[in-house]
Structure 1
Amino acid sequence: MWNDFEIAEPDDNWVLLEETGRDAIIAWFAGPENVCRAPRSGEGEKVRVTVSQAGGTEVRYEPLADRDRVTAEDSIDEYLSDAGIPARPRGYRWFLRVPAGCDSPGSFLSTLHRKINTAPPAGSPTPKSWNPVIQRVVGDLYS
């Protein structure tokens, strides 16, 4: 099914999903009508590095190394597998369509994550136990 997601260069009506297993599950349940993908160039990509020490916290951005990209993709694939969802094609950035009437792409993504996090599954959550929660929240936001 991942191959049904259109390859396109999104405009301002789309928000970039984070490179996490949770956001990959969001994309899966939002479906090809609400998600597109764009080839990843790799040029200029940065990773946020946060270092906490006794003297405070330092945040800096460093170039994303190829090995870091592979590690991130492996982690997402493992999370998706644990959720019972097939691995995504690699080499893409994934974007979620922002529904009409939302204030901004960032506020839409924040609202989506907040609604998911306020309805956690019972017991010790696993990637698969989040599926019905994510499916319901995503469905509600696009209905």
Structure 2
Amino acid sequence: MAQYWSTFQIAEADGEVPDGLPAGRYVAVIPNAHGALTAWVSGPRRCYRTPYPASAHPPIRVTRGHPSRPPTEVWFEPYTENDMKGENDDINSYLTEAGVRLRPHGYRWHVLVPEHIEDGEALESALREKNRYIDPVEVYAAIKELYEMLQKGRSPTLSDYDHE
């Protein structure tokens, strides 16, 4: 059966796990291509989404100065719809290369994780640490296998997934 982003349930607030999903710890994935792949491989039976409009995002840190030196100026600007579109376009470009359907924007994606995974950063670290690939198709395959290992209670080690 084909999978579509539209089949992922929507909850109105973080932490409100929709009916029909398993009980357990859910964390918001990092808003990047790896996070999107993690949400995709977890599937609609272990992932849900919550509305996350541009107005809910924290301000963006902006700097001015030479890249090899500390910034000479630092300020913050509101996160805009254009920022959200740019971020989503980048993620969808990566997903396309990996052979995954385009993801709708304006959501935060929450995936089921083992109890020892505290947050999205810890999940990203656990999956990226064992994933040495650059090609999106290989990254997708690695995240799929590594996420399943985590779900089965195994903490992946490099020897478990050393397909180089």
TM range (shorter): 0.7 to 0.9
Report the secondary structure of 1:56's partner residue.
Answer: coil
Shift of 1:115: 3.8
1:104 is the counterpart of 2:118:
yes
Shift in CA distance, 85/15, structure 1 to aligned 2, threshold 3 Å: same
Counting only pairs closer than 5 Å after superposition, residues 85-124 of structure 1 correspond to structure 2 as 85-99=100-114, 101-102=115-116, 104-105=118-119, 109-121=121-133
TM-score, scaled to structure 1:
0.79
Give 3-state SS (helix, strand or coil) of 1:32's partner.
coil
Superposed structure 1 runs of 4+ greater than 4 Å apart: 52-55, 57-61
Q: Which is bigger in relative contact order (C-alpha 8 A, separation at least 6)?
A: 1
Against the structure 1 CA distance between its residues 132 and 91, is the aligned structure 2 distance closer, same or farther, given a 3 Å change threshold?
same
State the percentage of identical aligned residues. Answer: 26
CA distance in structure 2 between the aligned counterparts of 1:79 and 1:71, rounded to whole angstroms: 13
| CA RMSD, Structure 1 to Structure 2 (Å) | 2.5
* Structure 1: gaps (5+ residues): none
Higher helix share: 1
Aligned-partner residue type, residue 18 of structure 1: I
Cα shift at 1:113: 2.5
CA-to-aligned-CA distance 1:63-83 (integer Å, 9 cap, x gap): 101111111111111110010
Q: Contact (CA 8 Å) 1:20, 1:76: kept in 2 or not?
A: yes
How far is the alpha carbon of 1:39 from its aligned partner?
A: 1.4
**Cα distance in 1, alignment partners of residues 123 and 82 from structure 2:** 32
Corresponding residue SS for 1:95 = strand
Partner of residue 38, structure 2: 26
Confirm whether residue 3 of structure 1 aligns to residue 12 of structure 2. no
Q: TM (normalized to structure 2)?
A: 0.70
Shift of 1:103: 5.9
TM-superposed CA distance for 1:138, in Å, is: 0.4
Deviation track 1:97-137 (CA, whole Å, cap 9, x = no partner) reads 232x326225xx4254244333313xxx2111212211111
Distance 1:111-1:59 versus aligned 2 partners, 3 A rule? farther
1:67 alignment partner in structure 2: 82
Q: 1:111 to 1:5 in 2, by over 3 A?
A: closer
